[in-house]
Amino acid sequence: MKPIIKIQNLSKRYRLGGNGGARYATLRESLSGMMHAPLAILGRKGRASRPELWALKDINLEIMPGEVIGIIGSNGAGKSTLLKVISRVTEPTEGRVELYGRIGSLLEVGTGFHPELTGRENVYLNGAILGMKKEEIERKFNDIVRFAEVERFLDTPIKRYSSGMYVRLAFAVAAHLEPDVLLVDEVLSVGDMAFQKKCLQKISQMRSHSNAILIVSHNMIAVRAICEKVILLSQGQLAAAGRADEIVPLYEKLMLENVKTETVADEREEGMGIIRVKSVRLVNRAGTEARAFDTGESMKVVVEYEARQRAVSVVAYAAIRRPDGFICMGTSTRLEGVVLPPLEGPGVVELEISELLVIPGYYIMDVTFYDENFEFRTYFLGRKQISFQINSSLPSLDDKYGVFYQKHKWNIDDVNVNSPAHR
Amino acid sequence: MGLTSNENVSALEPAVTKQTATITEASPIRHTSYQVPDNPLVVIAPTKSWVALNLGDLLTYRELLYFLIWRDVKVRYKQTALGAAWAIIQPLFTMLIFTLFFGRLAGISSEGIPYPIFAYAGLLPWTFFSNAISNGSSSLIGDSRLITKVYFPRMVIPIAAVGAGLVDFVIAFIILVGLMAYYGIGLSLNILMLPVLVLLLTLLATGVAMWMSALNLKYRDVRYALPFLIQLWMFASPIIYPASLVPERWKWALALNPLTGIIEGFRASLLGYRNFDWKTLTISAVITLIILIYSAYTFRRMEKGFADIV
């Protein structure tokens, strides 16, 4: 059988900004650069000296029609870059990709949705952006609306939609693309559980239309459930490929080792950048910054942010995640009725956890600011994640001991035995 | 990471094909009706230094262009209280102010035509042009989410911004018709040139907008420089004054501004009070095409980096 996608020696290099992290060049910098070192520009030395990052390095892959493939790997492993190259959003530096079918990409739910336009108008706009013909959208319009369950609000501007309606409508449009190859990036993690389930069902259905599906996900449960084959990327390279039940455990093991060795380095920032999370500091009982805590110890999460523009209706969210993405504990200001004032400029938000009751292991503190009018994770304003470790005097606990180590006590006859962690 | 040494896991490419074989055997129920064509539909590879304009791609995505224009027009009129009235208010009030200051107080010649209609006939194309390049130049930044998520020819975005301006242009025409009726100026055969002039003006606006939008993405200075440049450009074009006011020895400099031929052409075409200055118009047309072709190539060359720098 012939492959539907053929990837040969694919590499993608990013040049990192060399001027103090400034993302945009300004004319002045380019001009003054030319003044100071005219020869450097001629000889291209100026560019070559900037640090480089190979987001993808020498990837070779053949994807057959009918395959559902999961792409996994830690943050920055190149998963999203791979999808972006295949969907032609960004150009490779070396190598080539041959596409033998129409590509539909679902790198984001609701790409191009405009809040002022009505649901009906957005279906057409979004459909056109995703590559559907007008006639095709008209034909599928009723199905899309039925799937999204927004019939009554079709002529309402979507800025008045609830976040659930918004995501449902956005997903509905994308789900009705019928490409030969479907690329999906983290869509599985959007919305609540019920919606995620619906998405998974739809993706399974889409297999009948779609001749191959590539899914990037951190959700290993979903990956195991829907992908027969999994590709593991590590630092831009294809580290392993094989069946989901072989590769997923390997990845989980790798993630744990990673967290162990790269505790300090593992910090990442993302979001729309309206609110920049400058730092997330974890402070222990003694009041000092730490990356290792004991079970039962208190933790203060100190978040320094800077709102680059005035931001209203902001919700602060924090979660303790396992390296596999599972959320052990999550909380938000909205959940507990804490109202943040409009944010402007720099500021600090603190979260105090009086007792850390998760089992020993490696965890990630995920701090996210989002707009309460939009679905969490679809449009977050700013986010930072930082890893930490929970230690205990107990021997290492495997997954049969669950997630939490609650305060408890065994009573055997008349002898009371306290749990060692809370003695 | 030392993963490749793991025996349990099939590492790298050869194993992938092996694995594929087992999967196919394991799930024989899968119906794949898709016939893989012999030749790839698309080949993705790094572009060489010389890029093709790839205008066929633009044709494939003409529906997207239509939807983006439609979105721009709709959103603008929905977000404003006065809606479509803005298309008229801007040139109308500018005309009134110009008439007062330049026509009455400064007494600038209007070649025998009532100054209000003289100014409006120049302001009509100018308002379209200046709005088109200022909206066009910020269009890529405004749609940066699209650029990082979906593939389509990026040129569609600034072209749509210019296209949306054409709707305002048509609305603003109503005032001109009213003014012509008021001052009793009839149509002449010169009006036949109007479609050509509108096309030239649109091409020029598209060229400048494409170029500026790509530059703006890379150099955010453009946002600050452009309003200033637009202002300069207005005074360098025969909008408040007729080209005939410029001394003979500076005529050539004025003619280098492609708007000169177009705006003078608009007046000649609409008001019919004099013949076309074919020489200037030809120069304007040639410069317009040069700008359009240059910026289309520049845009194509910069386009591949858009998703990475935005």
Residue B62 CA to residue B57 CA, distance in Å, equals 9
* pLDDT at res. A18: 43
What does the pLDDT average to over A322-327? Answer: 77
Of A75-84, A178-187, B6-15, least confident by mean pLDDT is B6-15
Closest CA to B60 of A112, A181, A133, A98: A133
Number of domains within chain B: 1
Q: What is the pLDDT of residue B40?
A: 85
Please tell me which of the candidates A129, A134, A234 has its beta carbon nearest to residue B150: A129
Question: Angle between the B194-218 and B278-303 helix axes, to the nearest 10 degrees?
Answer: 30
Task: Answer whether residue B6 is part of any domain.
Answer: no
Dist CA B265 CA B193 (whole Å): 8
Give B 207-226 residues with CB within 8 A of chain A.
218-222
Residues A282 and A290: beta-carbon distance below 8 Å:
yes
Q: What is the pLDDT of residue B125?
A: 95
How many pairs of residues across A and B have Cβ atoms under 8 Å apart? 191
- Looking at residue A77, its amino acid is A
Q: Is residue B12 part of a domain?
A: no
- Considering the domain boundaries, does residue B47 fall inside one? no
pLDDT of residue A379: 54
Topology (CATH) of A267-401: Coagulation Factor XIII; Chain A, domain 1 (2.70.50)
Question: In terms of DSSP H, where are the helices of A92-229?
Answer: 119-129, 134-148, 163-175, 193-206, 220-226
Nearest to A250 among B6, B36, B308 (CB): B6
Type and span of the H or E element at A232 = strand A229-234
For the ranges A39-48, A102-111, A132-141, A250-259, the maximum mean pLDDT occurs at A132-141
- For residue A231, name the pLDDT band (cuts at 50, 70, 90): very high
Q: How far apart are the first and last CA of chain B?
A: 32
Per-residue pLDDT, A61: 92
Predicted confidence at residue B221, as pLDDT, reads 85
| B23: pLDDT strictly greater than 80 | no
Task: Check residue B105 and report its DSSP letter.
Answer: I
Q: Is pLDDT at B9 greater than 70 in this prediction?
A: no
Task: Indicate the average pLDDT of chain A.
Answer: 79
- Give tens-digit pLDDT for B245-281: 888 888 888 889 999 999 999 999 999 888 888 999 9
Strands, E, within A256-404: which ranges?
267-270, 275-283, 292-294, 299-311, 314-321, 327-332, 343-353, 361-371, 380-391
Residue type, A1: M
Domain range for B168: 53-309
**Do A90 and B40 make contact, defined as CB atoms within 8 angstroms?**
no
Lowest mean pLDDT among B187-191, B292-296, B306-310: B306-310
Residues A347-393 pLDDT 10s: 999 999 999 988 887 788 888 888 777 655 445 677 788 888 888 77
Note whether A84 and A186 are within 8 A (CB): no
Q: What is the per-residue pLDDT for A21?
A: 38
Query: What is the spatial distance between Cα A241 and Cα A237, in angstroms, rounded to a whole number?
Result: 11
**Sorting pLDDT into bands at 50, 70 and 90, what band is A43?**
very low
Partner residues linked to A304 by β-bridges: A279, A348
Q: What is the model's pLDDT at position A265?
A: 34
Residue A400 has pLDDT above 80, yes or no: no
What is the reported pLDDT for A60? 93
How far is the C-alpha of B222 from the C-alpha of A207, rounded, in Å? 46
Asked if the model's pLDDT at residue B132 lies above 50, the reply is: yes
Q: Provide the pLDDT for residue A296.
A: 86
B5, pLDDT greater than 50: no
Q: What is the amino acid identity at position A392?
A: S
Strand partners, A25: B219
Bridge partner list, A118: A157
pLDDT at residue A191 in the model: 52
Q: Check if the beta carbon of residue B234 is closer than 8 Å to that of residue B126.
A: yes
Query: In this predicted model, which residue has the larger pLDDT, B229 or A322?
Result: B229
Q: Give the pLDDT score at A270.
A: 54
Within 227-286 of B, beta carbons closer than 8 Å to A belong to none
Does residue B35 have a pLDDT over 80?
Answer: no
Q: Is residue B198 part of a domain?
A: yes
Residue numbers in B near A114 (CB within 8 A): 71, 75
> Mean pLDDT score of chain B, rounded to an integer?
84
Query: Whole-prediction pTM value?
Result: 0.71
Confidence of residue A36 (pLDDT cuts 50, 70, 90): low
Residue B290 pLDDT greater than 80, yes or no:
yes
For residue A98, pLDDT beyond 80: yes
Q: Which residues of B touch A6 (CB under 8 A)?
A: 40
Say if CB A63 and CB A242 are below 8 A apart: no
Phi/psi for A401 (5° steps) reads -95, 5
pLDDT band for position A99 (50/70/90)? Answer: very high
Nearest chain A Cα distance for residue B304, angstroms: 6
Contact A239 B1 (CB under 8 A): yes
Q: What's the CA gap between A236 and A248, in Å, rounded?
A: 18
- pLDDT number for residue B3: 38
Q: For the packed helices B156-182 and B85-98, what is the interaxial angle rounded to 10 degrees?
A: 60
Q: A137-189, pLDDT tens digit by residue?
A: 999 999 999 888 888 999 999 888 877 788 788 888 887 887 888 888 765 55
Q: Which of residues 16-55 of B touch A (CB under 8 A)?
A: 16-17, 19-20, 22-24, 26-27, 30-32, 34, 36-37, 40-47
Task: Confirm or reject CATH 3.30.2320.50 for domain A58-259, answering yes or no.
Answer: no
**What would the mean pLDDT of A407-414 be, rounded to a whole number?**
82
Give residue for tokens 């869509």. A187
- Average the pLDDT over A249-273 and give the result: 58
Task: Provide, as residue numbers in chain B, all residues whose Cβ is less than 8 Å from the Cβ of A86.
Answer: 44
Residue B197 has pLDDT above 80, yes or no: yes
Please tell me which residue of chain B has the smallest CA distance to A108. B149
Q: How close, in Å, is residue A390 to chain B by CA atoms? A: 24
The helix/strand count (H/E) of chain B reads as 13, 1
Cα distances (angstroms) measured from residue A41 to each of A35, A45, A226, B116, B255 = 10, 6, 50, 52, 36
Please report whether residue B141 resides in a domain.
yes
Structure tokens at B56: 């066929």
Q: Of the given ranges (A217-231, B145-159, B279-293), which has the lowest mean pLDDT?
A: A217-231
Looking at the DSSP bridge assignments, the partners of residue B40 are none
Across the interface, whether the CB atoms of B79 and A228 are under 8 A apart is answered no
Would you list the domain boundaries of chain A? 58-259, 267-401
Query: Residue A23: closest CA among chain B residues belongs to which residue?
Result: B309
pLDDT, tens only, B36-56? 788 888 888 887 766 777 788
pLDDT at position A34, please?
53
Q: What is the mean pLDDT of residues B126-149?
A: 92
Torsion over CA of B233, B236, B242 and B247, rounded to 10 degrees?
Answer: -170
